[in-house]
Amino acid sequence: MNATLAAAAAVGERCCVSSAETTPQLASLAPRLDEVARLLGVRSVLVMRSEPGAMAVAATAGDAAEHYAVGSVGKKAGDDQSRVPLYCEQVVDSGDEVFVRDSRVDELFAGNEDEIEFGLTNYLGLPVHNSAGEVVGTVCVLDEVAREYTQAERDELTGLRAQVETIVRSDGSALG
């Protein structure tokens, strides 16, 4: 361990080591994921892959990363009216940004999986497109506090999405 890392570890700081976990193809973005979590002050930053019946974690960072192991999946509600849709499912289905200030008072998302299991009631997610322009996943942030996002914070997430899309467009298997 070099002196800088040793000094940071001695005072309990994270210096230059990423706590993000990713698929191998997204590994170069690990420090950026950590940076977005820090800059936005959110509990979780995720890159998700859309599968026919589920959303799967391709990358995770932030204090809530322990809830979202790379490869873990959340079942989509699909046509099941008795289930609350996943935040990211709505992004994929709509192809648009989804913002939920506080899911506890949101008609569509009240009682969703992230709220019930992890207390993450705030969400901002963007679609990730492949080289054919199809939505194949999301880049998103989650938090436990109802809040808005500034334009600068939204720009950070948009920039991260652009980086993810660059990788996905050159390697279709990048999200796992």
- Condensed to tens digits (0 to 9), the pLDDT of residues 43-57 reads 999 999 999 999 999
- Condensed to tens digits (0 to 9), the pLDDT of residues 108-156 reads 999 999 999 999 999 999 999 999 999 999 999 999 999 999 999 999 9
Q: In the chain, how many domains are there?
A: 1
Is 2 part of a structural domain of the chain? no
- Global pTM value: 0.88
Contacts of 154 (CB under 8 A, 6+ apart): 124
Note down the domain range covering 84: 19-170
CATH code of the domain containing 78: 3.30.450.40
Distances (CA, A) of 66 to 54, 81, 126, 130, 139: 19, 29, 22, 28, 17
Is 57 part of a structural domain of the chain? yes
Is 140 part of a structural domain of the chain? yes
Is 28 part of a structural domain of the chain? yes
Of residues 62 and 7, the one with the higher pLDDT is 62
State the pLDDT at residue 82: 86
